[in-house]
Chain A
Amino acid sequence: MRVRFTVNGQEHVVDDVWPGESLLFLLRERCGLPGSKNACEQGECGSCTVYLDGRTVCSCLVAAGQADGRTVRTVEGLAAGDRLHPLQRAFVEAGAVQCGFCTPGLLMQAHDLLEHTSGSPTDAEIREALAGNLCRCTGYEKIIEAVRQAAETTVERETHQ
């Protein structure tokens, strides 16, 4: 089966895709994009979160063929070249990364939250948005702090414009 789709602005045409495989497998093993992580394979952990046509999804639960003709954005598509996205910088500065395995999924889900929030999200909104992303190093406090910081940076920048 052939799957043709756009990932981070670039068109990919992939042949010999097995119909039962996931979008996550397609991204990691066939497109050379290992940023999205493979952990629970059942939608519980959020470490494979990507945008599919502008909505965040667990890519382990999307059949590869369902991505045909669609647009995907992965964690590799957040930074502009060597310049980290403000959210990525905030994760580094706040110490929100320990082993780092959950980080790509958290970044995508937090990115979606900030895209859809005017001003700064409340802590309850941050917790709700990230409720499907598990961190096993128990770093949630720093993660929430990073999202708060990134939101403030974004709000400040917009106020100064």
Chain B
Amino acid sequence: MDFLRPVTWAEALELKAEHPVARPIAGGTDLMVELNFDKSRPTALLDLTRVDELTGWEHAGDLIRIGAGVPYARVIGELGDLLPGLAIASRTVGSPQIRNRGTIGGNLGSASPAGDAHPPLLASDAEVEVESVRGVRVLPIDEFFLRPKVSALAPDELIRAVRVERAGGPQQFAKIGTRNAMVIAVCSFALALHPAARRVGTGIGSAAPTPVRARAADEFLSGALDWAGGGPVAEEVSRRFGELVAGAASPIDDVRGTTGYRRHALAVMARRTLAWTWHDYREGGAVCA
């Protein structure tokens, strides 16, 4: 096994082109488990922790561009105001030790249907910036996940960053698990209100082969909310939103939960996150007025 240690992004891309089978490693929170349990024996590891370009985030117009190597702990500490949905989701990852180490880029690269960063990124229409020696591609987040643990990355490509519009309204994330810490989601749900466009965004985790949006639910709720007046959400609207979110999932029975439970829980989380975000929206509106 080779251990490749690029120190610049250009060098990382060259090494990935030369060794397309090399497995990129950042925080190691997924890949090292595979190695420790002898589940995979890659011919080479490509250590990205020395590539400085990946370790920061920056403003790019209205977008926040988060380097692939930024760990969850920094998203929580530094991006809570700009990207509250992603920060809340990051807060639910593993333990403090895992959040110090695990990265947003790694979460995307692993492409697990249960990745905690994925639902809020879907709800905010994030884009994934991938690069190879051939050039840069910018993929809408919902074109990035292909199958369980398979992404649209070509063998010679690496994830450079994720671009997300800064929050224009309240955002929430909810996750079901057996305890607060160290939990892989039974299922999870993210909701983002985009008041300027009078629409909402959603993301469902751990309840389909890939993280998915609930498109019909997005469209229904965007049209049903009283954006101008900030009036309360009718019980019927909340219930219908929950049903549409549950309907957008295609969960399976597995060790963490059943199909029926996951659908039920998604409807509950959809209604709750709607109540929380709409409350914040109305409060915010009152302050502005």
Q: Which residues of A contact B (CB under 8 A)?
A: 1, 18-20, 22, 41-44, 46, 49, 55-58, 60-63, 65-66, 68, 109, 112, 128-129, 131-133
In the complex, are the beta carbons of A19 and B97 less than 8 A apart? no
The CA-CA distance from A109 to B98 in the complex, in Å, is: 12
In the complex, are the beta carbons of A55 and B100 less than 8 A apart? yes
In the complex, are the beta carbons of B95 and A131 less than 8 A apart? yes
Stretch from B28-36, B81-89, B192-200, B201-209 contacting the other chain = B28-36
A19-B3, A65-B5, A66-B25 known; A43+B96 contact, CB < 8 A: no
Distance in angstroms from A73 CB to nearest chain B CB is: 14
The CA-CA distance from A68 to B49 in the complex, in Å, is: 11
Per-position contact with A for B104-123: 1 when CB-CB < 8 Å, else 0?
Answer: 00000000000000000000
In the complex, are the beta carbons of B96 and A129 less than 8 A apart? yes
Write out the residue numbers on chain B whose beta carbons fall within 8 Å of the beta carbon of A63.
3, 25, 28, 32, 35, 45, 47
In the complex, are the beta carbons of B32 and A62 less than 8 A apart? yes
Partner of A56, one of B2, B36, B45, B96: B96
In the complex, the 3 A-B pairs of residues with the closest C-beta atoms, listed nearest first: A132-B95, A131-B181, A19-B3
Distance in angstroms from B255 CB to nearest chain A CB is: 15
Distance in angstroms from B88 CB to nearest chain A CB is: 15
- Name the residue on A nearest B49 (C-beta): A66
- Name the residue on A nearest B41 (C-beta): A20
Is B149 on the interface with A (CB-CB < 8 A)? no
Write out the residue numbers on chain B whose beta carbons fall within 8 Å of the beta carbon of A42.
33, 36-37
Distance in angstroms from B9 CB to nearest chain A CB is: 17
User: Which residues 1-15 in B have Cβ within 8 Å of A in the complex?
Assistant: 1-3, 5
In the complex, are the beta carbons of B182 and A65 less than 8 A apart? no
Distance in angstroms from A117 CB to nearest chain B CB is: 13
In the complex, are the beta carbons of B101 and A57 less than 8 A apart? yes
In the complex, are the beta carbons of B101 and A19 less than 8 A apart? no
Write out the residue numbers on chain A whose beta carbons fall within 8 Å of the beta carbon of B257.
none
- Name the residue on B nearest A54 (C-beta): B100
In the complex, are the beta carbons of A132 and B32 less than 8 A apart? no
In the complex, are the beta carbons of A22 and B47 less than 8 A apart? no
Distance in angstroms from A28 CB to nearest chain B CB is: 13
Is B259 on the interface with A (CB-CB < 8 A)? no
The CA-CA distance from A22 to B41 in the complex, in Å, is: 14
The CA-CA distance from A57 to B97 in the complex, in Å, is: 5
In the complex, are the beta carbons of A109 and B96 less than 8 A apart? yes
The CA-CA distance from A129 to B97 in the complex, in Å, is: 9
Distance in angstroms from A48 CB to nearest chain B CB is: 9
In the complex, are the beta carbons of A131 and B36 less than 8 A apart? no
